[in-house]
Structure 1
Amino acid sequence: MRFWRWVADHWVLVVGLVVLAYLFLPIVVVLLLSINKPTNRLSYDLSSQWTLEYWLHPFGAAGIGDALRVSVGIALVATLVATILGTLMAFALARHRFRGRATTNVLIFLPMATPEVVMGSSLLALFVTLRVPLGFWTVVVAHILFCVSFVVVTVKARLATLDPRLQEAAMDLYANEVQTFRKVTLPLVLPGIAAAAMLSLSLSFDDFIITNFNSGTTVTFPMYVWGAAQRGIPRQVNVIGTAVFVLAFVLVVIVQLRGRRKAEFV
């Protein structure tokens, strides 16, 4: 009776824990598969043989290292360009009034709302019409297209929460526009820009549908996993997946801890 009474008093916490357990269950399975030796190549069941062999040789499977390097390269280039363009667009939409501003706000959401199959096939038709060879750079262009929208939305939301009196106070203290932007505006917006960059990086690294349409002979990590699934996914895929999750988790924890320390200091 005490247990059920506690559940009734803390049902929101219980539901939250259940949802988190449901979300993290696939990640736990991937982690277990990365340290388990399968009974055969096509088996995805957990056997009684546990090993760190795949962690010691994460690129032991043929082609997995090249696919990972291609995905990381595409993600970094797409994230850099999309973050710069999206941040500039967010500042323009949040700080300036101009003709077509409302239409631009609507158009920003189109890549986010458009199904990936439609976007991928449309970009493929565009590249074929322009006779652009499909490969690394066509994938980069495609990723920039949908990453820009997420950057604009994220940075614009951060700009909407800024107190304009902080910048006015800086200029009242004889700071010019460049100094105000560098010492006041940019540090305040930087967490939003960093969040947008991390989101773009994960979306680009994870994308399969749009990439599959416009990659040509270029093989990214998601495409490698899809192709390997037909003949048995190597355990090294689970190692890389787990490592990427751990890296992202550590980055988020570091950012949260730094933000909490700054809040306590203030």
Structure 2
Amino acid sequence: MSPVSPGTAARSKRRRRGAQRRGPWLAIVYWVVIAITLVPIVSMVAYSFNDAPTNRLTFAWNGFTTYWYQNLWNVSGLGAAFGTSVLVAFLAAVVSVAIGLPLALALERYRFPGRGIVSSIVFADIAAPSIVVGSASLSFFLSVGLGTGFWTILITHVAFDVAYVVVVLRARIAGTSKVLEEAAGDLGATPFQAFRLVTLPLLAPGMLAAGLLALAMSIDDYVITSFVAGPSVTFPLFVYGAAKAGMPPQVLCFGTLVFAVGLLVALLNGALNRRLARTRG
């Protein structure tokens, strides 16, 4: 057994002493944050099974029931609003990834005039308050004579989703190397073949993560959508309006289903990342 040097022993002792000085506060803060995050979600899931005799959301527990799930579409306008939100979110996510991928590649791998300005615009889009983005979007649509509705919601959601997609994909691209693409070129692959067969598979987990983030940002947006929705009603707009007269429990059911689907996709994405890591290893 090799002897431990005095320097190593001293460093180990300092680390133990530092861990003792930290005390329980880090763990307490961690669990408080976790509780703040999970309590609303757990409450939503639990009360979606609560028997509400008045057909309106109540926090008095009246017994377990699946009635609201069996009658999801019985609330006038709720199903249509939810469908509109899902369709807008899906299209916005797909279009945002399609636009954000080449933009992220250009910003991360190439140097060109105006690169700094484009990067600043991307981050400014993220930093801008929602009310500013919504009012600016409405002013633009009115100035060009475009009536508000489904398409203005979609355009606006793509506009603010692209920035988040670019940030996520740039981080993924920064963690990959061009060596494999260059090797594919040395083996006779064209630039497009190298991109399709090498780059895209490497970026696939990042693209999925960026798409999910864009979908989540879009499906629950209220402030920006309220400016540009016109006669169209999305799920957040319906919930806000219904809250004034009493919210139907089906709203919690839809929220629970969205959370369940999002959790499933996140787990699948994690499994895909681990599989790719083992393959590369």
Fold match (TM-score > 0.5): yes
What RMSD, in angstroms, separates the aligned Cα atoms of the two structures?
1.9
What is aligned with 1:3? none
Residues 172-211 of structure 1, C-alpha deviation per residue, up to 9 Å, x if partnerless? 2332212211121111111111111111111111111111
Structure 1 distance, partners of 2:174, 2:99, is 18
Who is 2:16 aligned against?
Answer: none
1:147/1:212 CA distance change after superposition, 3 Å? same
1:137 aligned partner, one-letter code: W
> 1:90 & 1:99 partners in 2: Cα distance?
15
Q: Corresponding residue for 2:34?
A: 20
Task: Give the aligned residue type for 1:96.
Answer: Y
Structure 2 unmatched runs, 5+: 1-21
**Are the structure 2 counterparts of residues 262 and 191 from structure 1 closer, same or farther at C-alpha, using a change threshold of 3 Å?**
closer
Deviations 1:115-139 (A, max 9, x none): 1101111111111122211110011
Structure 1 residue 46: Cα displacement: 2.6
**1:263 is aligned with what amino acid?**
A
Partner of 1:153: 167
- State the partner residue of 2:94: 80
1:246 match = 260
Distance 1:56 1:11 in 2: 45
**Which consecutive aligned stretches of 4+ in structure 1 deviate over 4 angstroms post-superposition?**
8-15
Instruction: Note the alpha carbon deviations across 1:202-239, whole angstroms, 9 max, x for none.
Output: 11111111110011111000000000000000000000
Worse-superposed segment, 171-180 or 150-159: 171-180
1:254 deviates by 1.5
2-side partners of 1:25 and 1:31: how far apart?
10
Q: Is contact 2:81-2:233 (8 Å) kept?
A: yes
What percentage of aligned pairs have identical amino acids?
Answer: 37
Normalising by structure 1, what TM-score?
0.91
1:33–1:46 Cα contact (<8 Å) kept:
no
- What letter is aligned with 1:111? D
Matching of residue 120 in structure 1 with residue 134 in structure 2: yes
Indicate the residue corresponding to 1:162 in structure 2.
176
Which secondary structure does the structure 2 equivalent of 1:229 belong to? helix
Instruction: Find out whether 1:224 has 2:224 as its counterpart.
Output: no
- Return the offset for 1:41: 5.2
- Whose radius of gyration is greater, 1 or 2? 2
Aligned-pair CA distance for 1:22? 2.3
The alignment status of 1:207 with 2:215, answered yes or no, reads no
Provide the rounded CA distance (Å) in 2 between the counterparts of 1:190 and 1:258: 9
Task: Note if contact 1:36-1:50 (Cα within 8 Å) is conserved in structure 2.
Answer: yes
Q: Deviations over 1:30-75 (max 9, x none)?
A: 1111010225455521323221100111122111111011111111
Q: Structure 1 residues 88 and 43 mapped into 2: Cα distance closer, same or farther (>3 Å)?
A: closer
Distance 1:264 1:74 in 2: 36
**1:34 is the counterpart of 2:48:** yes
Structure 1 window deviating more from structure 2 (87-96 vs 111-120): it is: 87-96
